[in-house]
């Protein structure tokens, strides 16, 4: 059984699949109806209007409706779009067991403990038929999928088949309306029931069960019925028009059979029972073929998906969605030929011609799960290996017929293996169940046995000649079978398939897992890691080295740099076999070859950008229809706004891109088109950074930013326009602007007038008097005297200021730049700009020409026309146009003008240049001394030679070290690492004393100092290992000692030191890596456990919530601690529960404590608690704690996360959190971001 989805909830009594969407309804014993998306494992909605358990639930085939029936005697019809109950059907007098929609008519069928089955018309909301005849609870009622029949099962030990054709004729036949609703002559079939109803009559009564029947159901196409009962038997019945009889009885369950159904597409029967098992039966042989068992949960219901190979079962603690076997066909692609297995044939398909041929007949097991799982082809010997999971894993080696086809069953060489693949021309390798790699020849004879270096290796995949890729717990290794050594390793957990590219120059490999893809080169160096939220089904390489893969409902692509995107959507899952040009060749789940058209433009465009093939990029821009915000955003993200600018039409987007590129003229055109203040302000800011004061001036004019204009004219020394700004301020009655401009210009008289206008007469007098404006000062003084001011005091202050003060005058203009742009540095054009210019010169028009025009800056832009501010001034020229600054070319006229005088020196022709000196710029260069170039420092050597974060810390490159930790383990908070970083920095350096009076020489300490060579790739110099595993183990012992003594604060410091030091620790052996992971897990458990205990103590000291105190004590006892500490936590939990009068809970803690074999006194106390709880099996508080249901504790909320519930993990320490904490800082390690996708910690040095 392949589990696809599992939930944790109250007991599930009813299940229903949606016919088209990946949804499933679950009706629970607590009265809740849950709607789940089993594909993405998310709870969509909950419906809670029933009072009591809900036992029946069903979806409508086409309408957004579902129906439920519960113990409140109500049938409710819901609309899942509006998320509310549409109406309620009342009529039953007892619990309702099952409900179902008719596949064609607007009918609902309901069975109840009132011994009645009712048929309702949900459109008219009325009961149209009552099926009476059972004399006990009716446990089940089901419509026939095609015929006008109903089957019911009851605890009266019978199964009844009802004919409802009369009901159909009465409600839907035109002739029935004139017959008074008598059913068109159906009274000939039998007598009416107790209520005189002849629309529905009993056709057959099936008797054979010894106890009550819990379920009965029709076969979808055959005249068969299956039933399950409390007599622990499943019975198969056959019927015809006149009678029905028992075919066979299936025995094997050990308790009541809850449900039994037919497989929709195979000759199989599924049944589940209160004996905690699901059994699969062969309908032809009448024998059980598979049994699936749960440890603690009884099963109550079963459901089959109407169109997919999916089943669901409800049990005591939730539901499980599962498959009986995998649907992926086994296939292999060689060149343009696809080999695949369909039914009992090996077939070949030619991608070029579309020809599909049967190659030969193969052996295939009929057992569930015996279908071929993988296929490998050897073109040299024309042989194939087919591996399946039959018998725990087996392979068949076939030699293909030379003439291309054989109708006779082929002989195969068989064997048992966990996996198998070809490794050479005449050799293949297999992984045995004892974890040994065996190499055999094509005669199936053993030639070599190799023991993998890692005992956790369980599968091998094909690689280059003589090598295999081995899959272990958390990584994949490239293993050389001849030398018996690991060549390379990559972090890639849970890999299921390996897909090699066909490129001979730079082959790449895609390591595909359930929801992860790792792209690596032929040396298994990881290039990128992609994670998906839903399962990845298949993948193949495009001719341009792009990996194209499928999920359940999309075809996607992945570039070698990690960029992904969607190619197209899918209606049904497919398995890609090859990608050729704009076609995807694939197999569906029925083994049919299909070719789907795709548009590869997007990923080819992005690939060209990654390869910096600008010519191809520009060609695709001109010829392909590349539009959309996603492409623009991608180009901006990758640093190519110039290219995005070529095909952007929106003015706002063009403005953003032009400003990012620094293309002021293009931005000016966009700003004119937008004509908004915000756009002009942004353009002015960018132009001011480039010193293009003409554009800045125009922007300020458009936005009427007079203060900014005045300051611009001040800093550029444009006194003429400053004088005009002074006049404008006067026309606008802007006193402050007038004062500022008068100050900038140095017009004292105007400043005096502004102060007089503002009624600041004393200030105006002081200003006039100190600047020698005698007449003006006397006029102002007279006005002050007329208002009663102190004139003598003002005269005295003015005299003192004139004698001791300095006049405030504007700075003298040294050089007026006027309208000339500020000088800019000459920079070399980027490759993109050069390629765009070349493409445009070759005749590219349209968008390319637009960008070229933007790159070639026009000289001497003409004024601003009517956009200038019109100032009435006699004889003034307005703002005018800027004159173009003429700059001579290099060397042109250098020193030729009269101003430099005569620069030549006579009389030096016969003087020889000394051989030891001079400039190296001469043509000869012989005999000149050239200073040797300094070699790389030890920091540069360490950075170049290592990819470990600790080595980058030693080199002093904290930025690259923290970037590695962010990508590998999701670190976002690096402050706690400060003491470790300082320790590494100090421990990898030494100083050597030099000559007296000179500074000491700083040198790096290498861990491989004996053979390190900075210039060699084989023995690169690497820094000393400061953080090692042995001191951390000693630190762990101190932490254990502190924990035992109850010194939790001290223990917490030790564990935090360990968990942070591990991030900067490297090891050389895989055993050490395993030990380091165990150390990390132990530290996490203790930090979280101490945090729970501290929270419990805080609760005791604060609100004293007894329920919460008991919950925290219970959670602490589930941390993975050492036995001595676990006993202490169990004693604490037992005491808390006993004091809170939760005796049953205290008993469970006591029993767990006794199992750990504590001291006699402790064991005696625990036994007394158990004995007291047996007499008083009650709990005074209902805790959020279920010890039978496995759970982990959320490190954020300190609440349980039960198995099957959604959760997120810290990518570094592995602490669990509810989804609400995703994206926050981990509270355990205080280093990583919860839920971040990472590649895994790189700590093993090979």
* CB 1219, CB 1212: distance < 8 Å: no
Query: Which among 617, 739, 6 is positioned nearest to 321, based on CA atoms?
Result: 6
Q: Compute the average pLDDT of residues 614-632.
A: 70
**pLDDT score for 692:** 83
Distance CA 361, CA 338 (A): 16
State pLDDT tens for residues 541-551: 998 889 999 99
State pLDDT tens for residues 555-579: 999 998 888 888 898 888 899 999 9
Sequence-distant (6+) residues with CB within 8 A of 1014 are 935, 936, 938, 941, 1020, 1021
Paired residues of 594 in beta bridges: 586
| Alpha-carbon 1125 to chain mean position | 38
Distance CA 394, CA 377 (A): 17
State pLDDT tens for residues 211-229: 999 999 999 989 999 999 9
* CB 477, CB 514: distance < 8 Å: no
Give the chain's end-to-end CA distance (angstroms, integer): 39
Place of tokens 């079978």: 481
838 phi and psi, to 5 degrees?
-65, -45
Residue 695 has pLDDT above 80, yes or no: yes
State pLDDT tens for residues 807-850: 777 777 766 666 666 666 655 565 566 666 665 555 444 434 43
| Alpha-carbon 954 to chain mean position | 33
Distance CA 912, CA 904 (A): 18
Residues belonging to the chain: 1246
Residue 454 has pLDDT above 70, yes or no: yes
Query: Which among 517, 464, 512, 516 is positioned nearest to 488, based on CA atoms?
Result: 464
Q: Picking from 156-170, 707-721, 986-1000, which range would have the lowest pLDDT averaged per residue?
A: 986-1000
* Strand, helix or coil for residue 240: coil
Q: Compute the average pLDDT of residues 326-337.
A: 88
Place of tokens 């004019």: 701
Q: For 914, which DSSP code?
A: P
State pLDDT tens for residues 631-686: 777 776 776 777 767 667 778 878 887 887 778 888 888 888 888 888 898 888 88
Instruction: State the burial class of residue 1225 (Cβ atoms within 10 Å of its Cβ: 0-12, 13-18, 19+).
Output: middle
State pLDDT tens for residues 572-606: 889 999 998 889 999 988 888 999 998 888 888 88
Comparing 130 with 1203, the larger pLDDT belongs to: 130
- Cα dihedral sign for 451, 454, 458, 464? negative
Average pLDDT, the chain: 82
Give percent above pLDDT 90 in the chain. 30
Comparing 1022 with 628, the larger pLDDT belongs to: 1022
Q: Compute the average pLDDT of residues 1214-1223.
A: 91
State pLDDT tens for residues 1234-1246: 998 888 888 887 6
pTM as predicted = 0.60
Query: Long-range pairs for 745-749 at CB < 8 Å and ≥24 separation?
Result: 745/719, 745/810, 746/809, 746/810, 747/723, 748/773, 749/773, 749/776
Give the pLDDT band (50/70/90) at residue 92: very high
Query: Which among 1115, 1109, 1094 is positioned nearest to 1180, based on CA atoms?
Result: 1109
Residue 992 has pLDDT above 70, yes or no: yes
* Strand, helix or coil for residue 542: coil
1096 phi and psi, to 5 degrees?
-65, -45
**pLDDT score for 283:** 87
Instruction: Please state, as a whole number, how many other Cβ atoms lie within 10 Å of the Cβ of residue 786.
Output: 8
Comparing 390 with 11, the larger pLDDT belongs to: 11
E strands in 644-724: none
Give the pLDDT band (50/70/90) at residue 405: low
Comparing 917 with 777, the larger pLDDT belongs to: 777
**pLDDT score for 644:** 67
**pLDDT score for 818:** 60
Give the pLDDT band (50/70/90) at residue 199: confident
């Amino acid at each position: 059984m392949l589990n696809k989805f599992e939930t944790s909830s109250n007991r599930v009594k009813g299940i229903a699949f949606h016919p088209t969407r990946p949804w499933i309804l679950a009706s629970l014993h607590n009265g809740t109806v849950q709607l789940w998306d089993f594909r993405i494992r998310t709870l969509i909605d909950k419906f809670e209007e029933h009072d009591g358990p809900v036992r029946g639930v069903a979806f409508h085939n086409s309408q957004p409706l579902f129906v439920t029936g519960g113990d409140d005697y109500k049938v409710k019809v819901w609309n899942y779009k509006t998320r509310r109950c549409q109406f309620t059907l009342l009529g039953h007098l007892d619990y309702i067991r099952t409900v179902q929609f008719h596949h064609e008519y607007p009918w609902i069928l309901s069975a109840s403990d009132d011994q009645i089955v009712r048929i309702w018309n949900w459109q008219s909301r009325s009961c149209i038929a009552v099926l009476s005849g059972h004399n006990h609870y009716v446990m089940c009622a089901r419509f026939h999928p095609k015929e006008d029949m109903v089957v019911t099962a009851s605890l009266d030990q019978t199964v009844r088949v009802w004919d409802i054709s009369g009901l159909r004729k009465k409600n839907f036949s035109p002739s029935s309306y004139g017959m008074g609703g008598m059913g068109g002559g159906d009274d000939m079939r039998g007598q009416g029931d107790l209520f005189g109803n002849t629309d529905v009559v009993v056709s057959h009564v099936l008797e054979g069960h010894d106890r009550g029947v819990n379920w009965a159901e029709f076969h979808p196409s055959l005249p068969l019925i299956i039933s399950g009962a409390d007599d622990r038997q499943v019975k198969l019945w056959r019927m015809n028009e006149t009678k029905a009889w028992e075919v066979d009885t299936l025995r094997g369950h050990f308790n009541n059979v809850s449900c039994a159904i037919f497989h929709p597409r195979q000759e199989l029967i599924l049944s589940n029972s209160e004996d905690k098992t699901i059994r699969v039966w062969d309908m032809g042989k009448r024998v059980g073929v598979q049994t699936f068992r749960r440890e603690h949960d009884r099963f109550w219901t079963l459901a089959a998906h109407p169109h997919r190979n999916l089943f669901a079962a409800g049990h005591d603690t939730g539901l499980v969605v599962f498959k009986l076997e995998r649907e992926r066909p086994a296939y292999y692609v060689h060149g343009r030929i696809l080999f695949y297995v369909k039914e009992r044939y090996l077939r070949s398909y030619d991608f070029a011609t579309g020809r599909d041929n049967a190659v030969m007949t193969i052996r295939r097991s009929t057992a569930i799960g015996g279908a071929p799982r993988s296929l490998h082809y050897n073109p040299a010997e024309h042989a194939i290996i087919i591996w399946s999971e039959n018998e725990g894993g087996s392979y068949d080696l076939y030699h293909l017929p030379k003439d291309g086809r054989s109708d006779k069953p082929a002989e195969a060489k068989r064997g048992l293996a966990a996996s198998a693949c070809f490794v050479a021309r005449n050799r293949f390798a297999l992984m045995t169940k004892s974890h040994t790699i065996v190499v055999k020849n094509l005669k199936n004879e053993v030639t070599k046995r190799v023991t993998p270096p890692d005992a956790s290796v369980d599968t091998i995949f094909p690689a280059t000649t003589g090598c295999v890729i081995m899959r272990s717990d958390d990584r994949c290794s490239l293993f050389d079978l001849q030398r018996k050594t690991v060549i390379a390793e990559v972090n890639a957990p849970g890999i299921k398939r390996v897909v090699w590219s066909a490129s001979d120059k730079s082959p790449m490999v895609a390591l595909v897992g359930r929801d992860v893809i790792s792209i690596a080169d032929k040396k298994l160096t990881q290039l990128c890691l992609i994670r998906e939220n839903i399962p990845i089904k298949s993948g193949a390489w495009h001719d341009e080295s792009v990996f194209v893969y499928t999920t359940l409902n999309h075809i996607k692509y992945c570039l070698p740099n990690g960029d992904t995107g969607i190619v197209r959507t899918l209606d049904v899952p497919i398995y890609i076999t090859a990608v050729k040009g704009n076609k995807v060749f694939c197999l569906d789940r029925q083994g049919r070859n299909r070719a789907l058209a795709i548009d590869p433009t997007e990923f080819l465009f992005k690939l060209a950008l990654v390869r910096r093939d600008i010519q191809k990029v520009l060609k695709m821009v001109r010829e392909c229809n590349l539009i959309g915000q996603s492409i623009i955003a991608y180009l901006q993200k990758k640093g190519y706004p110039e290219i995005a600018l070529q095909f952007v039409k929106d003015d706002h987007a063009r403005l953003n891109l032009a400003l990012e590129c620094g293309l002021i003229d293009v931005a000016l055109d966009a700003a004119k088109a937008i004509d908004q203040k915000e756009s002009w302000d942004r353009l002015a800011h960018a132009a001011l950074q480039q010193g293009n004061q003409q554009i800045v001036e125009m922007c300020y004019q458009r936005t009427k930013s007079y203060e900014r204009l005045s300051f611009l004219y001040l800093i550029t020394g444009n006194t003429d326009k400053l004088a005009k700004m002074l006049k404008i301020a006067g026309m606008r009655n802007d006193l402050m602007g007038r004062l500022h401009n008068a100050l900038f210009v140095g017009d004292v008289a105007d400043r005096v007038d502004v102060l007089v206008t503002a009624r600041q007469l004393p200030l105006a007098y002081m200003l006039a008097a100190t600047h020698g404006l005698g007449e003006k000062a006397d006029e102002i003084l007279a006005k002050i005297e007329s208002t009663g001011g102190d004139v003598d005091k003002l005269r005295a202050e003015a005299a003192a200021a004139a004698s001791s003060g300095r006049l405030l005058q504007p700075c003298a203009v040294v050089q007026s730049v006027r309208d000339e742009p500020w000088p800019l540095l000459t920079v070399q054009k980027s490759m993109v700009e050069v390629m765009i210019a070349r493409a445009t010169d070759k005749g590219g028009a349209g968008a390319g020409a637009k960008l070229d025009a933007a790159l070639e800056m026009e000289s001497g832009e003409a004024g601003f026309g009517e956009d200038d501010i019109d100032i009435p001034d006699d004889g003034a020229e307005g703002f005018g146009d800027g004159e173009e600054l003429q700059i001579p070319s290099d060397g042109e006229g250098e020193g030729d003008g009269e101003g430099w005088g005569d620069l030549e020196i006579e009389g030096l022709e016969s003087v020889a240049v000394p051989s030891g000196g001079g400039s190296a710029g001469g043509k000869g260069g012989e005999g000149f001394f050239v200073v040797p170039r300094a070699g790389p420092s030890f920091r540069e050597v360490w950075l170049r030679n290592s990819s470990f974060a600790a080595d980058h810390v030693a080199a002093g490159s904290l930025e690259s070290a923290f970037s590695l930790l962010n990508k590998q383990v999701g670190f976002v908070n690096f402050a706690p690492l400060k003491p470790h970083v300082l320790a590494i920095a100090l421990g990898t350096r030494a100083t050597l004393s030099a000559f007296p009076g000179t500074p000491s020489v700083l040198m790096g300490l290498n861990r491989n100092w004996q053979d390190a060579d900075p210039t060699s790739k084989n023995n690169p110099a690497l820094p000393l290992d400061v953080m090692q595993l042995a001191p951390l183990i000693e630190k762990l012992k101190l932490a254990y000692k502190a924990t035992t003594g109850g010194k939790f604060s001290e223990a917490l410091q030790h564990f935090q030191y360990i968990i942070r030091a591990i991030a900067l620790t490297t090891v050389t052996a895989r055993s050490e890596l395993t030990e380091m992971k165990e150390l990390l897990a132990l530290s996490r458990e203790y930090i979280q456990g101490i945090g729970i205990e501290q929270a419990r103590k805080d609760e005791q000291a604060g609100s004293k919530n007894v329920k919460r105190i008991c919950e925290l004590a219970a959670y602490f006892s589930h941390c993975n601690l050492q036995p001595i500490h676990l006993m202490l936590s169990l004693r604490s939990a037992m005491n808390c529960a006993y004091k809170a009068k939760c005796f049953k809970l205290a008993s469970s803690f006591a029993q767990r404590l006794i199992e750990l074999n504590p001291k006699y006194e402790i064991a005696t106390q625990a036994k007394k608690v158990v004995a007291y709880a047996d007499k008083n099996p009650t709990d005074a508080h209902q805790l959020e704690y279920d010890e039978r249901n496995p759970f982990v504790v959320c490190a954020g909320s300190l609440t349980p996360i039960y198995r099957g519930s959604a959760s997120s993990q810290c990518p570094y320490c592995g602490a669990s959190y509810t989804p609400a904490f995703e994206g926050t800082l981990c509270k355990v390690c205080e280093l990583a971001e919860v839920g971040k996708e990472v590649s895994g910690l790189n700590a093993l040095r090979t």
